[in-house]
């Protein structure tokens, strides 16, 4: 008899619950049925998985089997959920992995236009950094990816837009006052006057000073909304693109240091394959028009 997914699910539940009774309650089965399934798994594995009959202490092999059971059942559950989502959304699905600044500044307008012609299509958005976007596209966990890059860093995918990177600071704070005193002509050295809130876009600035400030920073965030909230709260300043802050509420100021001017690109990426749904193609084209 071969190991079955159900055996791993039962074993995982028992190991995490600690008793047959608790596992049986969670799985809506009888304790005897749970015990029989565990016995089958032990027979197939060929060695004990629990140190005692109380099921609350695992052997070293049992710990390994628990880790693999978690991995196997989690992957199966995720796949099942994806299948159900596709089945429910009869009009199709578009999975997007995007850097946070694109999620805030770019996608709302594109989604609004897309829904006018595809009102029943399900849209799933993952808000992650550029390396994670690439991984999701490569693993086919996303149909479309949107990454950030320096203008001279890569030619992958297609260019969506290019905008200036700048300093976002609290209105009336030390950096804002220093920028005004300099007549609007300032460099990245102003960042030394307040703590730097690090985010992945900071790495696009080609300046040794920014590298040092990043290394000494005690606060890092990836979500654009969270970064702006921290800036308003007075926790420090950060580096963001103009598109991400242009429509934000009062309380923050944004300016582009003139020495030197740094820019970032948003680029859309996807796997090159033979089949793409019409919904994915439509969303891809709208990104070009944004």
What SS3 string covers 210-272?
A: HHHHHHHCCEECCCHHHHHHHHHCCCCEEEEEHHHHCCCCCCEEEECCCECCEEEEEEEECCC
- The DSSP 8-state label assigned to residue 99 in this structure reads -
Determine the pLDDT at residue 166.
Answer: 92
Question: Is there a single domain that holds both residue 19 and residue 99?
Answer: no
Mean pLDDT of 270-283: 83
- Is 97 part of any domain? yes
Using only C-alpha atoms, the chain has a radius of gyration, in whole angstroms, of 26
Report pLDDT for 36: 92
Q: Which residue range is the domain that position 123 belongs to?
A: 93-159+266-289
Asked if pLDDT for residue 88 goes beyond 70, the answer is: no
Q: Which of 56-60, 99-103, 231-235 has the lowest mean pLDDT?
A: 56-60
| Number of Cβ atoms within 10 Å of the Cβ of 66 | 18
Q: What is the pTM of this model?
A: 0.66
Least confident among 141-145, 213-217, 244-248: 244-248
**pLDDT (average), residues 204-217:** 92
Residues 274 and 134 in one domain: yes
Mean model confidence pLDDT for the chain: 88
- Report DSSP state, residue 48: -
Domain shared by 253 and 169, yes or no = yes
CB-count burial class (<10 Å; 0-12, 13-18, 19+) for 235:
middle
pLDDT attached to residue 191: 93
- Domain assignment present for 88: no
Four-residue CA torsion sign, 11, 15, 21, 22: negative
Same domain, 210 and 77: no
Q: Considering its fold, how many domains does the chain have in total?
A: 3
Chain centre distance of CA 245: 20
The reply to whether 20 and 50 lie within a common domain is: yes
Q: 16: domain CATH number?
A: 1.10.10.10
Tens of pLDDT, residue by residue over 7-40, are 999 999 999 998 889 999 999 999 999 999 999 9
| pLDDT reading at 71 higher than 80 | yes
Beta bridge partners of 144: 96
Tell me what pLDDT residue 159 has.
93
Residues 176 and 147 in one domain: no
137 lies in some domain:
yes
CATH number at residue 248: 3.40.190.10
222 with 237, same domain: the answer is yes
Q: Is the pLDDT of residue 90 over 60?
A: no
254 shares a domain with 171: yes
Helix (H) or strand (E) holding 160: strand 158-170
Banded model confidence at residue 169, pLDDT cuts 50, 70, 90: very high
Note the pLDDT of residue 89: 53
- Residue 27 sits in the same domain as residue 53: yes
Same domain, 167 and 284: no
Q: pLDDT-derived band of residue 85, with 50, 70 and 90 as boundaries?
A: low
Residues 226 and 139 in one domain: no
Please check the confidence at residue 120 and state whether its pLDDT lies above 60: yes
Give a yes or no: residue 87 inside a domain.
no
């Amino acid at each position: 008899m071969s190991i079955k997914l159900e055996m791993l699910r039962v074993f995982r539940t028992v190991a995490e619950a600690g008793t047959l009774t608790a596992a049986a309650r969670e799985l809506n089965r009888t304790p005897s049925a749970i015990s029989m399934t565990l016995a089958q798994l032990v027979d197939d594995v060929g060695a004990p998985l629990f140190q005692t009959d109380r099921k609350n202490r695992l052997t070293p092999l049992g710990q390994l089997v628990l880790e693999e059971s978690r991995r196997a059942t989690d992957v199966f559950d995720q796949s099942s959920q994806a299948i159900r989502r596709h089945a429910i959304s009869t009009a199709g699905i578009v999975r997007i992995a995007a850097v946070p600044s694109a999620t805030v500044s770019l996608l709302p307008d594109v989604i609004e236009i897309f829904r006018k012609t595809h009102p029943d299509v399900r849209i799933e958005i993952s808000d992650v950094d550029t390396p994670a976007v690439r991984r999701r596209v490569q693993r086919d966990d996303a149909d479309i990816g949107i990454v950030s890059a320096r203008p001279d860093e890569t030619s992958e995918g297609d260019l969506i837009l290019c905008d200036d990177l700048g300093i976002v600071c609290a209105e009336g704070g030390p950096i804002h006052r220093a920028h005004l005193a300099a007549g609007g002509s300032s460099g990245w050295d102003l960042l030394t006057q307040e703590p730097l809130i690090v985010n992945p876009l900071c790495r696009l600035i080609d300046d040794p000073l920014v590298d040092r400030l990043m290394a000494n920073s005690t606060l890092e965030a990836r979500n654009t909304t969270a970064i702006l909230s921290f800036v308003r709260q007075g926790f420090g300043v950060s580096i963001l693109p103009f598109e991400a802050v242009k429509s934000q509420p009062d309380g923050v100021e944004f300016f582009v240091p003139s020495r030197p001017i740094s820019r970032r690109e948003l680029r859309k990426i996807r796997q090159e394959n033979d089949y793409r749904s019409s919904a994915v193609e439509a969303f891809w084209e709208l990104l070009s028009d944004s």
